[in-house]
Structure 1
């Protein structure tokens, strides 16, 4: 009888997230102590019946009943798929726009994104502990996939309000900012929603095209300036741009079903969508290791400024991440976050890593200057 407490052997990667990875690991002789995540194994029954699966964990992997019984008896843990959900809590990869917006031709309400939001609203209201556990498992799976995607990346977070409409100069400026950052080798990461977030992701998408492409795309998108009153029209305009220029640059969006009335945008190649907004907010800022740019926004953006300032304030190694606020009058008069940020920064290492600029066009240059500047001044 196997010893279920035997520690796994040291290895660099024990996660299996595709059928190809499963076959490759099995060809080496053993599945012992691996974690197989959301892989359909219904066509691998013979392999499961004969393989060493001691200490393995199967997370949401469909398999035949006799295969499931065998791997359990051999010392594996099996967490079966949960039927009836509009999402997979054990998923091994981030979402794509095509996945979340599947069925958009009928209406946005038919998409997996809309159905997941509806499920969230229903289960949040009744306080079902099983549903809350599924949400937590899902969000942890998303965090794991996001970390895997961003290994070695220089990530710049671009924050800003959802109300920034297509067709405005502010939206165009934010898109040019995203394009500049992507062309400079940064990975653009946003909150993944409409407005300023979409604009920055659009800019990253346009970064591999000639400059004229972005100007044309902005004109096309301006025909559906906001996700209200019709998310369907708003999203279809974005996919029309993607269809006309299918080879876009990659960026990351990190939206949330907590604000599910705000849809994700279609220009982020990778969407790390969460149920828990707090996990999403903290994760976006924590992964922005090359700095954060704050475009004009409202309460949510103000919160993000100080959520980011807090770890910078207490940074003990002298390596706070740069922070650039865009919109002098917005951040000094309308919502005076800049004076408070300056007050926090005085006599701290973060003082030399903050900047206030007038426009999105200046933000990328300011960020690079702050990155190059010695923190001691």
Structure 2
């Protein structure tokens, strides 16, 4: 977890107890602040005395008398929702340790698996309250993601979930993530297994010497896929993290819509969504320094054109770079490249897209395109 940044005068969100205490200690009113998922049960005396007119408390546990007092003063209070396996008002992104808590008793016991089970049940029920909670949660995650990535040069790495550990393709994707991270980019992926995990692993390995990644790849190859056992697959990743702690940070943006695909443990910051459309659009829109598309199937093809569409209609002449990797894959197996070229010729995209055959060429191609 990153340290809590100091509060600034134009920041109206309070997302930790330390921030709350800082605002109050400065003698400031809570009026206009949004206090987000902060446990205030030990701040009753403060809440009874501070000006909270116009404040909004989102999922903040507090004593009944404190809640009554701030409501009377003119604040809005959205109380915590009991019985949920997630916090819809959360102020920060997930960490791998949080989502995989209780992994030792099996993946089914983890918050990640329990949130997926809740999603499956409530989606089948068609409960409007549950759908509202999912929307509130996803909006809170988007807000936290924007705060995390402010000022960052983000490169998205897209590719198929079926890419197995122990393959040369997986190793290549990991080396790509490492090189991008060492070049100063923030690596962002779909946050799942396969190519996504490999790129996040590479970013994690960036601070270490080159030998570390090779050894980590050998350890991970013992559990090549999340099937049949997500537990074994995830444990292998945590074994690597324990052997080489404090790796480089990257971002994973997975979804419970495809909850059978678990998130990977190498992204330090995980923005997990219930709505896949929000997740897909958010991942591509935040990849402001470009996107590298590794071989994939339907999902990756969709992402290519999801990214191409805003580039096509970009009115300022600044489409984000797009690098497609593996000529045979994108010209013959899934002939996406010819159509992308046709679109590019109609607009100012042509100088911002390229196709390379080797994954090793992707970082230089990205740089050449202005990423």
| TM-score interval (norm. to shorter) | over 0.9
User: Following TM superposition, by how much is the alpha carbon of 1:11 offset from its aligned partner in structure 2, in angstroms?
Assistant: 4.7
- Checking the alignment, whether the CA contact within 8 Å between 1:173 and 1:359 is kept in structure 2 is no
Deviations 1:309-354 (A, max 9, x none): 0000111111000000001000000000000000100041110000
Structure 2 unaligned spans of 5+: 1-7
The residue number in structure 2 matching 1:187 is 186
Q: For the residues of structure 2 that align with 1:308 and 1:129, how far apart are their CA atoms?
A: 31
The residue number in structure 2 matching 1:6 is none
Instruction: State yes or no: 1:296 paired with 2:295.
Output: yes
Structure 1 unaligned spans of 5+: 1-9, 373-377
Q: For the residues of structure 1 that align with 2:154 and 2:348, how far apart are their CA atoms?
A: 21
The residue number in structure 2 matching 1:329 is 328
- Structure 2 counterparts to residues 165-244 of structure 1, below 5 A: 165-244=164-243
Deviations 1:247-296 (A, max 9, x none): 20000000000000000000000000000000000000000000000000
Q: For the residues of structure 1 that align with 2:151 and 2:188, how far apart are their CA atoms?
A: 14
The residue number in structure 1 matching 2:98 is 99
The residue number in structure 2 matching 1:3 is none
Equivalent residue for 2:23, pick from 22, 25, 30: 25
Q: For the residues of structure 2 that align with 1:60 and 1:169, how far apart are their CA atoms?
A: 46
- Structure 2 counterparts to residues 84-95 of structure 1, below 5 A: 84-95=83-94
User: Following TM superposition, by how much is the alpha carbon of 1:218 offset from its aligned partner in structure 2, in angstroms?
Assistant: 0.3
Q: For the residues of structure 1 that align with 2:346 and 2:131, how far apart are their CA atoms?
A: 43
Q: How many residues align?
A: 363
Q: For the residues of structure 1 that align with 2:358 and 2:102, how far apart are their CA atoms?
A: 38
- Structure 2 counterparts to residues 335-354 of structure 1, below 5 A: 335-354=334-353
Runs of 4+ in 1 over 4 A off after TM superposition: none
Deviations 1:179-222 (A, max 9, x none): 00000000000000000000000000000000000000000000
What CA RMSD, in Å, does the superposition of the two structures yield over aligned residues? 0.9
SS in 2 for 1:189: strand
TM-score by length of 1: 0.96
The residue number in structure 2 matching 1:375 is none
User: Following TM superposition, by how much is the alpha carbon of 1:28 offset from its aligned partner in structure 2, in angstroms?
Assistant: 1.8
TM-score by length of 2: 0.97
Q: For the residues of structure 2 that align with 1:283 and 1:252, how far apart are their CA atoms?
A: 12
Q: For the residues of structure 2 that align with 1:350 and 1:245, how far apart are their CA atoms?
A: 41
Instruction: State yes or no: 1:75 paired with 2:37.
Output: no
